Amino acid sequence: MRRAVPVSELPVGIEQLLTIAALDAAFLEHVAADPVAAAAARGIRLDEAEVALLRNATPALLRQMAERLVVPKTIGRGTFMKAVAASIVAMVTGKAFLLCSGCTGADTFESEGGTGRQQWVTYDGHTCYLYVPKQVDADASMPAPIMVALHGEGETCLSNVQRWAQTADNYGFILLSVNWTEEATSDAGVDKLVQALASLATMGLEGRMPSGRFLCSRGTATPLAYRSGLVVHPLAWDGVVMLGGVPDGDWVNQPAQASEGISDDPPAVYYVSGDADPDFQQAKACVARLNELDVVCGHQIVSGETSAAILEFASIWLWLVQHKR
Amino acid sequence: MSADVTLVNLNMLFVRYVDRAEREIHLPLGPLYVAAALERAGLEVDFRDYQSCDARELLSEASIGGFLEGAADILFVSCMANLLPFTVLALRRYRAANPDAFIALGGVGPASIERPLLEAFPWIDAIAVGEGERTSVALARAVKEARKSGSNPIDLSAVPGIVWRRGGEIVSNPRPPRIEQLDGEPLPAWHLLDLSRYRGMNMISSRGCPYPCTFCSVAPIWGRRPLLRSADSIAAEMASLHELCGAELFLFQDEYFVSSAARVKEVCRAIRGLGFPARWKAFGRIDLTDPATMQEMAEAGCVEIRYGVESGCAEVLSRTRKGFTPEQALDVLSLAVGIFPGVDAFYMWGFPFEDRGQFQQTLLHMIAARAMGVRILPSLLALLPQTTIYEELKGSARLEFCPELFPEYMLTGCEVCDGGRMRIADEHCEVYDLVASHPELFPGFFHVDVEHNILPKYRLLQKFGFYSSEGRTELLGSDIDCCGAHSP
C-alpha cells in the first residue's frame, strides 16, 4: 500500500510565479509584461481566479511584488511555509527548480539556521541543499559524518537546515538535504531516488569521505527513508531518523506483510511520533514490529502532533552516534 | 458585600468551533485603569473579569447570573461591541433580580450610541463616555452619597462624562477634559487579578490616534488626538509586571506606538535598560516605520509587528483615508520581514464601494505579502457606530443581517464556527434576535449587500486559503488570530 500524497487544492500559481520572478530578472520582465504567458512558459498552473487577479495587476505592481519578495531564509513560521512551500524555488545551474508541493506542516524548529556554508548543489542529477559547518569546512581533508535528509510535505530543503544546522555546527556533520518533489510523482521516480540516496551517502561529498552516514526523513518522506535504510540499502546507512510519518503498509493489521523485505542487518532507527498524529496507531504498531524483529529502535512519543513538537535535535544526534553500527 | 463598586470586565474574545472553544484571555486594561482610579479615590472595588469565569457554557444566563451574584449595589460593566447585546440582556436579568442596583455601562461597546441605548434598555441607569478614570470616581461617589443620604431620584448632573436617566429624560453631561499627563495616572490594578492566568501582558503606550481612517472605531473615540506616555513610564510598567509575575512578553495594544522615530527610539532605549530580556509586540504604521526604526525595535526585543495595510488598491486606500499607497505597504512589509521574527498585516474587506477589480487588487496584494512571509489577518468590515464609514452609510444603505457571517471583531462566542460558516445554537437565539431587531444599535453585526458585495469576496478569500471553508480547514499564512489585539 503506498500512502497517497495529498496535494493542496489551494491555488499557489501566483506565489510560484512571483518567487521565480524574484530570482530570475529575465523572467521578471516576462511576468511584468504578460504574467499569464510567463506562467505558461514555465509550466506553472494558474487557475481562473489567479488569471483574473494577474490580468488586473499593472506591470509596475507585478514587478514590485516580485522585487520585494523575500525568499525566506528561515522557515520558522509554520503557517507561512504551508503557504509558500509549494512555491519555493532556487536557482541551480541557472535554472529555477520547484522544490516542494503540498502541505502538511513541519515540526517546530528550535533554532534559526546555522552559520555554516550553505549552497544549492546538484549531485547525480538531484537538486540538493548542502550545509557544511564552519569547523568542517575549515579542513577539507578530514572525514566528517553526513546526514542525508528528506524534507516532508509542505517543506523545502531549507527546512532540514533549519532543523539540523545548529546541531551540525555543534557536532560537526555535513547536512545534505535532497529535493524529492518531482521524484515522488511516480513509482519509477521513487525507485530512482531510493537508489540515489545510498549513492549520495557513499560517494563522498566534495572529495571527502563520510565518517558516518545517516538518513533523516520528515512526515511523508518516512516511507522513502524506511525503504532505503531498512530494506534496499541497509548497509549504506549507520542510522535512520524518522520524524513523524509511517513507512508504507498496514502495520496494525498486517505487520508481517508491512515489514516484508526488511534487512537482516538494518541500521538503528530513531522514530519520533506524536500521540495526536493521524497515523499514530500505525506508527506505534510499526515500532512494535521493529522491536519484534530486533531492530534497534528508539521511539520518542511527543504530546500532540509531531508537526507541532519542539524536538531536541542534539539529543537525537547523540542517540544516533551512540547506536551507530 | 462591603465593596463600594463591582466592576465587571466583559471585554473578551471567545470563539466556538464545532469541537472546541478557544478563549483568549487578555489583561482587561481599561477596567483595570478604572479600578486603580477608584481605589486611589478611596473606594473599595470588587473586580470581576468574566474571562476568568470557568463556567462551561460561558455565554448563558445561568453563568453570568452566577458570576454577578453578590455584587455591590453599584455595578459598572465594561464591554466591546461584540458582547454588547449579551451584556444588555444579562443586565436586564440582573436588574430584575436587583431592582435597587445602580447599573452603569462603559467601554467602547456603547460609545457613541449612549442615548439610543438608554432609550431602548431602561434597566441601564447610565453610560460613561470617554476615559473612565475621572467619570467612574465621580459617578461612584455621587451614587454612594445619594444612597447614604436617601436621595431619590439620584442627581447625577454634576458627574462629568455620562449619559444618564433623569426621570423620563435622558441627559448628556459634558465630558471631562482628556487626561493630559498619562504618566500621572496609577498603573492598572493588577493586584485585583490572578495574573498567573494571563499569558501575555497587555499594555498601552498611548491613548488615541490622529489618523482619519474611515473604518476605524478607535480614533474617533479619542477625538483623533493622541496622548503619549513617557518611555520611562512604559519601562517602569514592564518592570513592575516582571517583578509581579515574571512577565517577559508584553503586548502593546495601542494603535499609535510608532508615533515618531524619535519616540520609538526613546522607548526602545528604556526597554533595553530593563535588565531582563523583554520581548514585545506592537502595532506599526506603514508610513511611520522606516528601516532604522524597525531595526531599533527589533534590537530592543520586538518580536512581532502588526500593520493595518487594509487594501491593495490605491483608490480604496484613498477613499478610506489611510494615507499611504499599496506600493509603500509592499516596501515596508518586505523590509519588516527581514527584520522582525513575525510580521502581521491586516487587510479589510467588504467595503460596499469596493468593486470586483479593486478587491482583486487587494487579494493579489495579500498573496504577495503572504509569499514574503507576512501573516495575513483578513478582517471583514465591521460597521461600528463610531466609524465615519457607518456615518456615511447610515440612512442610505440597507443593513443586512447574515447570521452565517460576522466580522472578526463581532464574534460573540455564541456562534459555532463550522467549516467557514457560522451557526447559531438555539439557546443563543435571544442574543441574535435582539441584534436583528436593532441595527441602529448593533450595526457592527450587519453588512451592506451580502449577496453581491460580501459573499463573492468571501468565496475568493476562502479559495485562496485566507478563510477556512467547508471540508477544508487549511489556512495559508493566517490563523484565527484576527481579533485585532496581539496575542501571546
pLDDT single digits (tens) B150-169 = 988 899 999 999 999 998 89
Residue A125: the pLDDT is 72
Residue A57 has pLDDT above 70, yes or no: yes
> For residue A105, what pLDDT band results from cuts at 50, 70 and 90?
very low
Nearest CA in chain B to A75: B373
Cell for A223? 516511507
* Cα–Cα distance measured from residue A172 to residue B406, given in angstroms and rounded to the nearest whole number: 54
Query: If you average pLDDT over residues A210-232, what whole number do you get?
Result: 93
Q: How far is CA A10 from the centre of its chain?
A: 21
Considering only residues B85 and B58, tell me which one the structure prediction assigns the higher pLDDT: B85
Residue B176: the pLDDT is 93
Other Cβ atoms closer than 10 A to A47: 15
**Closest-CA distance of chain A to residue B244, Å:** 29
Considering only residues B254 and A121, tell me which one the structure prediction assigns the higher pLDDT: B254
> For residue B32, what pLDDT band results from cuts at 50, 70 and 90?
very high
> For residue B406, what pLDDT band results from cuts at 50, 70 and 90?
confident
> For residue A77, what pLDDT band results from cuts at 50, 70 and 90?
very low
- What is the ipTM metric for this complex? 0.85
Residue A35 has pLDDT above 70, yes or no: yes
Nearest to B363 among A53, A68, A77 (CB): A53
- Cβ contact, residue pair A56, B364, below 8 Å: yes
Q: Write the CB contacts of B199 (distance below 8 Å, at least 6 apart in sequence).
A: B25, B249, B488
Least confident window among A3-7, A31-35, A308-312, B467-471: A3-7
Phi-psi region of B112 (alpha: psi -120 to 50; beta: other; left: phi over 0): left
- Arithmetic mean of pLDDT over chain B: 92
> For residue A182, what pLDDT band results from cuts at 50, 70 and 90?
low
Residue A102: the pLDDT is 27
Helices within chain A (DSSP H only): 13-23, 25-33, 35-41, 48-55, 59-68, 78-84, 134-137, 157-171, 187-202, 222-226, 255-258, 280-292, 313-322
Residue A109 has pLDDT above 50, yes or no: no
- Taking the Cβ of residue B464 and every Cβ of chain A, the question of whether any pair is shorter than 8 Å is answered with yes
pLDDT single digits (tens) A233-245 = 998 899 999 999 9
Distances (CA, A) of A104 to A2, A107, A163, A204, A243: 17, 10, 16, 32, 13
Residue B19: the pLDDT is 67
Nearest CA-CA partner of B307 in B431, B142, B484: B484
Helices within B174-289 (DSSP H only): 218-221, 231-245, 261-272
- Taking the Cβ of residue B457 and every Cβ of chain A, the question of whether any pair is shorter than 8 Å is answered with no
Question: Residue B22 is which amino acid?
Answer: E
* Cα–Cα distance measured from residue A123 to residue A130, given in angstroms and rounded to the nearest whole number: 10
- Taking the Cβ of residue B116 and every Cβ of chain A, the question of whether any pair is shorter than 8 Å is answered with no
Angle between helix B84-97 and B61-68 (nearest 10): 60
* Cα–Cα distance measured from residue B340 to residue B306, given in angstroms and rounded to the nearest whole number: 10
Considering chain A, what percentage of its residues have pLDDT values greater than 90?
A: 44
Least confident window among A111-125, A271-285, B7-21, B343-357: A111-125
**Closest-CA distance of chain A to residue B314, Å:** 11
Q: Are the beta carbons of A237 and A265 closer than 8 angstroms?
A: no
> For residue A9, what pLDDT band results from cuts at 50, 70 and 90?
low
- Cβ contact, residue pair A70, B363, below 8 Å: no
- Taking the Cβ of residue B425 and every Cβ of chain A, the question of whether any pair is shorter than 8 Å is answered with no
Considering only residues B4 and A41, tell me which one the structure prediction assigns the higher pLDDT: B4
Angle between helix A59-68 and A25-33 (nearest 10): 150
Nearest CA in chain A to B370: A80
Q: Using CA atoms of B118, B119, B120, B122 in order, give the dihedral in degrees to the nearest 10.
A: 60
Distances (CA, A) of A99 to A76, A120, B31, B182, B394: 18, 11, 52, 54, 52
Considering chain B, what percentage of its residues have pLDDT values greater than 70?
A: 95
Phi-psi region of A144 (alpha: psi -120 to 50; beta: other; left: phi over 0): beta
Least confident window among A197-206, B237-246, B313-322: A197-206
Strand, coil or helix: what is B38?
helix
Query: If you average pLDDT over residues A13-26, what whole number do you get?
Result: 83
Dihedrals phi, psi of A268, to nearest 5 degrees: -70, 150
Element (H, E) at A117: strand A117-123
pLDDT single digits (tens) B6-20 = 999 999 877 776 666
Distances (CA, A) of B348 to A50, A81, A98, B256, B382: 20, 23, 32, 19, 9
- Cβ contact, residue pair A84, B333, below 8 Å: no
Q: Write the CB contacts of B396 (distance below 8 Å, at least 6 apart in sequence).
A: none
Nearest CA in chain A to B360: A53
> For residue B34, what pLDDT band results from cuts at 50, 70 and 90?
very high
Residue B189 has pLDDT above 60, yes or no: yes
Cell for B247? 512577565
pLDDT single digits (tens) B261-310 = 999 999 999 999 999 999 999 999 999 999 999 999 999 999 999 999 99
Residue B443 has pLDDT above 60, yes or no: yes
pLDDT single digits (tens) A156-175 = 777 788 889 889 999 999 99
Residue A191: the pLDDT is 84
Dihedrals phi, psi of A23, to nearest 5 degrees: -105, -10
Nearest to A77 among B326, B342, B367 (CB): B342
Considering chain B, what percentage of its residues have pLDDT values greater than 90?
A: 77
Q: How far is CA A182 from the centre of its chain?
A: 12
Other Cβ atoms closer than 10 A to A258: 22
**A85 contacts in B (CB within 8 Å)?**
none
Query: Using alpha carbons only, what angle is made at residue B346 by residues B342 and B349, rounded to the nearest 5 degrees?
Result: 155
The edge-to-edge listing of strands for the beta sheet with B102-106 is B45-49, B5-9, B74-78, B102-106, B126-128, B162-166, B169-172
- Taking the Cβ of residue B341 and every Cβ of chain A, the question of whether any pair is shorter than 8 Å is answered with yes
Residue A93: the pLDDT is 24
- Taking the Cβ of residue A82 and every Cβ of chain B, the question of whether any pair is shorter than 8 Å is answered with yes
- Taking the Cβ of residue A53 and every Cβ of chain B, the question of whether any pair is shorter than 8 Å is answered with yes
Query: If you average pLDDT over residues B427-434, what whole number do you get?
Result: 90
- Taking the Cβ of residue B303 and every Cβ of chain A, the question of whether any pair is shorter than 8 Å is answered with no
Mutation test of the interface with chain A: which of B359, B370, B463, B476, choosing the one with the most A Cβ atoms within 10 A? B476
> For residue A27, what pLDDT band results from cuts at 50, 70 and 90?
confident
Residue B185 has pLDDT above 60, yes or no: yes
Cell for B430? 435571544
Query: If you average pLDDT over residues B35-39, what whole number do you get?
Result: 98
Cell for B288? 511611520
Distances (CA, A) of B167 to A282, B152, B159, B161, B164: 72, 10, 16, 18, 9
Residue A3: the pLDDT is 29
Cβ under 8 Å to B: A residues 103-132:
103
Nearest CA in chain A to B344: A80
Residue B124: the pLDDT is 98
- Cβ contact, residue pair A64, B337, below 8 Å: no
Phi-psi region of A3 (alpha: psi -120 to 50; beta: other; left: phi over 0): beta
Q: What is the DSSP string of B337-371?
A: HHH-SEEEEEEEE--TT--HHHHHHHHHHHHHHHH
Residue A6: the pLDDT is 34
- Cβ contact, residue pair B327, A69, below 8 Å: no
Dihedrals phi, psi of A281, to nearest 5 degrees: -65, -40
- Taking the Cβ of residue B463 and every Cβ of chain A, the question of whether any pair is shorter than 8 Å is answered with yes
Residue A2: the pLDDT is 27
* Cα–Cα distance measured from residue B309 to residue B323, given in angstroms and rounded to the nearest whole number: 10
